[in-house]
Amino acid sequence: MVVETLMNKVVEEGREFTYVYKLLKSDFLIEVDGNQRNVQAYGIEVETQEMVNGEATTIHSDHEKYISPQRHKVKALLKLLNDNMVSPIHFIDIAGEYIDEYISDFDEELKVIANC
């Protein structure tokens, strides 16, 4: 589910490019003591649309569905991508280090669930 969308438009040489950044929310199943538990997970989708004469001619997209259960971290990353107009082609190059760091948040969530 898309919970927030940021957008930028750029015109170059008569072509219009629209960069769309979506904050995604979904359920992530974690198994604790043989029982599956739902954890809210946040991710990002990045899309670029090239418009010529008002028609979308080229669309590129990439996404990472499960980045962190902590919305504020993923939202900050979404803003960073939007502010720098990162294309889908470079999404993982830029976001990969953050994703590698934030993925451990699921381990922390697992510890909290296990201690309940």
- The pLDDT value recorded for residue 81 is 98
- Structurally, how many domains does the chain consist of? 1
Amino acid letter, 6: L
Q: What is the mean pLDDT of the chain?
A: 92
Instruction: Give the residue-averaged pLDDT of 65-84.
Output: 98
> Which residues are bridge partners to 9 per DSSP?
18
Instruction: Give the residue-averaged pLDDT of 58-86.
Output: 97
- The pLDDT value recorded for residue 116 is 67
* pTM for the full predicted model: 0.90
Residue 101: both structure tokens together = 């760091």
The phi, psi pair for 67, rounded to 5°, reads -105, -50
- The pLDDT value recorded for residue 62 is 98
Q: What range defines the domain where residue 66 resides?
A: 2-114
